[in-house]
Amino acid sequence: MNNEALNSLLDIDENYPVPLVNEFLAQPENRAFLEYVYKDPFGCHVFPGDITDYPLPSFFADMDSDIKKAGKIHLWAYIPTCRYRCHFCQYPTVILNPKAASSQEVFRDLVDFNIKEALMWLERVPNLATVEVGEFNIFGGTPSLLPEPELRRMMAFYKSHFNFSTATMRFEGEPGTLNKEYLAILKDLGFSKISFGTQSFNDEIITACGRMHSADECVETIYQAREIDIDWVSVDLIYGMLGQTVDDVKYDMEKTLELGLSHVVCTKLHMDEFIKNRTGVSGERESLWQKKGLININNMSFPGLGKQYQMRELVEKYLADGYTEHPTMYFHRNDQQPEKWKALITDLDKQYPEVAIGLGGSSKSTRSEAINITGYKKYKEALNEDRLPIEESRGFSPAQREVNAFKMALSTLIPVDDKVFKQRFDGNSFFENPLINRTLDKLVQKKLVTVSGDVVTLTPIGITLVEAIINTQFTTETE
């Protein structure tokens, strides 16, 4: 047993109950779970292909066929510019001063490259031009650094080359730049949803994680969005950060309820290297918090694993009455719809293709996936040489398609119904897939899921540990 991980699990705030997961994680036979959650890859969206060196022409053919069959996709553009790098950030970014004259050329280049990449996709995947875009996202980085002319130019391209007839549009920004004027531009362009990272409503914690905004700015952004009838506002909170206490998370939850947020994402801090674990936006480097010399600053320390799960239980307690968690980490107010883009790509009755344009993005169909280059210099070189900036492509074997579909369905926290699964896979039952069936036996034995007839449901501990379940338990005998 990893003694360091076990000691971290025993780091408890005595003013709060011992987390329900502690007894499970402390058992020697559950070592794989403990080691994973102690130092785990970011997020729950790691569903890798099992066929390496998959030919790109085959990937595009898969995507074109899948898009035609699905009839709807999630489309997103990644704008990697940032004013600074947060201490927990491992994403591919281009750091610049948005007010500097030299930065204007970078913004123009980024939009030019994004448009060029999108045109190359349209050439290789003809059905991409006509398929309905279910939701369009601009992710970052900090896309709200884009000057108005460049943002309008990019959106004019997307709206004239893709089918936005039924699309909802969502924009990710930063409180320091999502001011009233910029929000009005987004509203005019048709964006009805915004999201941004608050991380915490405690200014000391915000500063410790390297953010250059205040809690008041976050609150002001929420109210300014509402003033112009953008009521769909998603705020990202992180628990487990440097200097953070369980009381701090309690305050964050009280503030969440006070503000009546429509959507809130509550994420456990993850310290493993993204670069080793392919995610929604591929990793590029270690975060500053992972480098020696920055972990213990101003006599602050990271809360142990036990405190982190006390924080998670507080999140569940405060949001239990008015919010639903779907998928894991994403909470929506009960009078609102869940995150549409996540539902499009993970709900068992959907799991539509997603196409990502930009540095470090990842695209997938049911049969294969492709991950973009993460280094900006290499990204530019590829496009200047008229090559799509794809660094790796993988395929999914028939059995792996079923496994990935089941894992994605588990991540939604919605009970997984074999009847729906059979509709997806020409009558095949997930109970007949050897790896799924064998894993289900283990999960039932460990009381992480229950099976009732055709339906698999996560237990409360299973919901808390769903990332670990997905990323440690679905392995072959030889792995």
Contact 188, 359 (CB under 8 A): no
- Give the CA dihedral 218, 76, 156, 148, nearest 10 degrees: 30
Compute the distance between CA of residue 267 and CA of residue 286 in angstroms, rounded to an integer. 19
The pLDDT of residue 176? 85
Tell me the residue type at 319: L
Contacts with 337 (C-beta within 8 Å, 6 or more apart), sequence order: none
Measured from the Cβ of residue 42, the count of other Cβ atoms closer than 10 Å reads 23
Ordered mean pLDDT values, 10 residues apiece, the chain (479 residues): 86 98 97 88 69 96 97 96 85 88 96 98 98 97 96 98 98 93 98 96 92 94 97 95 95 98 91 54 66 61 93 98 96 97 97 95 94 92 97 95 97 98 97 98 98 98 95 73
DSSP assignment of 424-467 equals: HTTT--GGGSHHHHHHHHHHHHTTSEEEETTEEEE-HHHHHTHH
The pLDDT of residue 287? 73
Compute the distance between CA of residue 401 and CA of residue 438 in angstroms, rounded to an integer. 16
> 3-state secondary structure string, the chain?
CCHHHHHHHCCCCCCCCCCCHHHHHHCHHHHHHHHHHHCCCCCCCCCCCCECCCCHHHHHHHHHHHHHHHCEEEEEEEECEECCCCCCCCCCCEECCCCCHHHHHHHHHHHHHHHHHHHHHHHHCHHHHCCEEEEEEEEECCHHHCCHHHHHHHHHHHHHHCECCCCEEEEEECCCCCCHHHHHHHHHHCCCEEEEEEECCCHHHHHHCCCCCCHHHHHHHHHHHHHCCCCEEEEEEEECCCCCCHHHHHHHHHHHHHHCCCEEEEEECCCCCHHHCCCCECCCCCCHHHCCCCCCCCCCCCCCHHHHHHHHHHHHHHHCCCEEECCCCEEEECCCCCCHHHHHHHCCCCCCCEEEEECCEEEECCCEEEEECCCHHHHHHHHHCCCCCEEEEEECCHHHHHHHHHHHHHHCCCCEEHHHHHHHCCCCCHHHCHHHHHHHHHHHHCCCEEEECCEEEECHHHHHCHHHHHHHCCCCCCC
- Structural domains in the chain, CATH included, are 3-45+398-473 (1.10.10), 56-346 (3.80.30.20)
Token reading at 363: 């695209």
The pLDDT of residue 450? 98
Please give the model's pTM, rounded to 2 decimal places.
0.94
